[in-house]
Structure 1
């Protein structure tokens, strides 16, 4: 189950619980358990316990259980266990409740921790401690994330409803074997395949009435009362409040749908993401084309042209020719001073062009294809294809004031051309990419 801000309500909790229980038993072997009965030593023992558990967790951090996925947000079982254990120091009331449970067991059975079966008893008490702490931590984080009130009991209720939904989904999936109970859940006798089986694709499609009827039918079909129909008063009010159940089911469903979309971010990144993949494909095709040309022994290559006769134009010469590694040695000081003054008038760092040229990836396919274009034209191409902000851009390309590439107006001014001319040259450069790719693909 996913809810805003929560981290411990998903499939990995069982492994977190087992890892904390295992490490706690190791810690107890290093502690003098009878000191738990001394009220004056509770705080000191908490520090000793957390130190020992942390050491045991770190020692087993490379185990299969510790490295297993703890939730759908990318936290490992080890990371969740360690953070929850440290939460215990911030919320010592759960430790004191554990100590009280140990003292009560001692009152009934004496020094029970010396018995052979003590580990099972201690593990159960540790599980109870961390289960309560888990719901408190997740409830607090839910409040911070949403701004809505929440309590550990409400988190427990969300989890109960999620579990009930999954039970119902299982019955629906195997409805032929459970036709009588499925009929009671739906509130009608079955006559062939129920359409609800196909319609309920997520918890958001589960109806509150189904939860209530499922709970009422559990004692008859499963042998024990459902959560809404036990003697406990925890969920007693819910069976008469379908609107509350419906709202909670909808919230779980809405957030799970939202977070599932976030998991598949590549499906909805939009034009910028598609452009990045498109340009990456260009580089791949160009690389393959160059390799094919190198393997063609019959190809007659033209005689290399001297640099001074290359005809690349002033822009390419200023930017170091094809490699784009930066200005050549003969780039005159007064030219640098002039471009620094120009950058200053555009609210850009004075050495913007100089540093932006140096930040280009020498030998990159994009630079090779666009080597005849000035740096502002190339940046305009990237802005068109990838957007003004992209994680792949070097910091030296960005305007410090915005954290993005300079605007088209700034780029046109840097190139000392008009906006229409900039757009024309930018589009021609993009057309060149298309043409080279089309020729390489043949």
Structure 2
């Protein structure tokens, strides 16, 4: 969601939150939290503790700025996750009530459990308190910046309402797109039985086209179809007045939609670049067909009305070209004495620049391949077996055997936008091969692993 002046309401917030939580845990374990253990003190020590926390947190965030998570896009204005996290950390000095409320929760928890922040098992409790502090601070900062940008009043609660409506719209769009599987709920939202694709699914191009009545009906349908009351139908008073004010909902939806339309094409050229690429590919095919036709006619050939010339076959297959990339013979047996140390060695500048360009085109961090390569454990048995395979092939093997999301994966291997390994399409593009070739080589690598396992399990003669 984009609104004038806001920086923290978009897709990157989840990664900003995680980075702030990770670095805060590291910092709070090293700080002297005496004011928390002895709360009967003047405010000065609490302020000094805040300043020490912010200073140490800033150093930790800067250290993480070059990681995959830190370099990920934080919003649509070009700010990274690390930049947003660092800016929000410094806002604690401008908004001291949020730090004071955080310390108050630490004091209360200390009264129940003692110095719980020293217990490794209490990471979840401490991270939750940090998350709550920054969630409130985020809405306050964005609300104040919205006021400065538009001159209109806005509170943190109103900013929360904007976000709720944006979430509601996206869920309604999801239901409309998959109306076959959600006929009853879509019917409840639209107020009629659904027998075919609803025309509203094609008409709702953006949040500005979402009707307030649909938001209210969607919230009412969640208790039956989602298992819990919707945000407009809970006992909370946060949205109590909004449920009976469709005009207010409609005005907020239009405001979000108008600003997103205004700002969506100002900072990137992905749309026209994609069309230019498609046009170039079409022209390339066109001139190829024309050239083949002229050559065929020059040789005295004729054409049938329904005859289509086959595509030109390249001199080398894709597998042969890829085999020569490292100057290695594909049939060479490298499993026995292959040294995997070369896998983590730095690559030359030209290839590094090419890798960064491909990663950016796939919406991955620019240094994704470099960081992912350095995160490999060079001494592992699996890497020794598969050291002849490229990094994308090995990641495809992990994805097949362990799934896209596993707690053992280093952060550098995962797409910051999803927290999972890149998709097969992304891995194929990173390796410069097609999807079928990637799958073939992945399956061959898995067979190699199974053969090694069978060899280890075989009894000695």
Q: Does TM, scored on the shorter chain, surpass 0.5? A: yes
Larger radius of gyration: 1
Partner of 1:4: 4
Partner of 2:128: 124
Whole-angstrom distance in 1 between the partners of 2:81 and 2:75: 8
Q: Determine if contact 2:36/2:110 at 8 Å carries over to the other structure.
A: no
Q: Determine if contact 2:147/2:154 at 8 Å carries over to the other structure.
A: yes
Q: Determine if contact 2:220/2:229 at 8 Å carries over to the other structure.
A: yes
Partner of 1:20: 20
* CA deviation after TM superposition for structure 1 residue 115, in Å: 2.6
* CA deviation after TM superposition for structure 1 residue 109, in Å: 2.2
Partner of 1:96: 100
Whole-angstrom distance in 2 between the partners of 1:243 and 1:83: 36
* CA deviation after TM superposition for structure 1 residue 112, in Å: 1.9
Whole-angstrom distance in 2 between the partners of 1:159 and 1:25: 27
Q: TM-score, normalised by structure 2?
A: 0.57
Partner of 1:57: 61
Whole-angstrom distance in 2 between the partners of 1:116 and 1:267: 48
- The verdict on how the C-alpha distance between 1:180 and 1:266 changes in structure 2, with shifts beyond 3 A counting, is closer
Pick one of 176, 181, 186 that aligns with 2:180: 176
Q: Which runs of 5+ in 1 are unaligned?
A: 269-442
Partner of 2:190: 186
Q: Which runs of 5+ in 2 are unaligned?
A: 273-461
Partner of 2:154: 150
| Residue pairs, 1:155-304, within 5 angstroms | 155-263=159-267
Alignment size in residue pairs: 268
Q: 3-state SS of the aligned residue for 2:229?
A: coil
Q: Determine if contact 1:168/1:214 at 8 Å carries over to the other structure.
A: yes
Whole-angstrom distance in 1 between the partners of 2:149 and 2:176: 34
Are 2:120 and 1:109 equivalent residues in the alignment? no
Whole-angstrom distance in 1 between the partners of 2:218 and 2:270: 39
Whole-angstrom distance in 1 between the partners of 2:93 and 2:67: 25
Whole-angstrom distance in 2 between the partners of 1:108 and 1:264: 52
Q: Determine if contact 1:36/1:45 at 8 Å carries over to the other structure.
A: no
Q: TM-score, normalised by structure 1?
A: 0.59
- The verdict on how the C-alpha distance between 1:125 and 1:266 changes in structure 2, with shifts beyond 3 A counting, is closer
Deviations along 1:230-274, one digit per CA (max 9) or x if unpaired, are 111101111100000000000000000000132357999xxxxxx
State the superposition RMSD in angstroms.
Answer: 1.5
Q: Determine if contact 1:70/1:77 at 8 Å carries over to the other structure.
A: yes
Query: After the TM superposition, which of the residue ranges 97-106 and 259-268 deviates more from structure 2?
Result: 259-268
Whole-angstrom distance in 1 between the partners of 2:271 and 2:193: 42
Whole-angstrom distance in 2 between the partners of 1:122 and 1:267: 43
- The verdict on how the C-alpha distance between 1:260 and 1:102 changes in structure 2, with shifts beyond 3 A counting, is same
Q: 3-state SS of the aligned residue for 1:262?
A: coil
- The verdict on how the C-alpha distance between 1:267 and 1:16 changes in structure 2, with shifts beyond 3 A counting, is closer
- Relative contact order (alpha carbons < 8 A, sep ≥ 6): 1 or 2 greater? 2
Q: Determine if contact 2:33/2:49 at 8 Å carries over to the other structure.
A: no
Are 2:99 and 1:80 equivalent residues in the alignment? no
Partner of 2:330: none
Q: 3-state SS of the aligned residue for 1:144?
A: helix
Whole-angstrom distance in 2 between the partners of 1:147 and 1:259: 19
Whole-angstrom distance in 2 between the partners of 1:30 and 1:266: 45
* CA deviation after TM superposition for structure 1 residue 30, in Å: 1.2
Pick one of 32, 37, 51 that aligns with 1:47: 51
Whole-angstrom distance in 2 between the partners of 1:119 and 1:267: 43
Q: Determine if contact 2:36/2:107 at 8 Å carries over to the other structure.
A: yes
Whole-angstrom distance in 2 between the partners of 1:180 and 1:212: 16
Whole-angstrom distance in 2 between the partners of 1:266 and 1:235: 38
Q: 3-state SS of the aligned residue for 1:119?
A: helix
Whole-angstrom distance in 1 between the partners of 2:95 and 2:196: 54
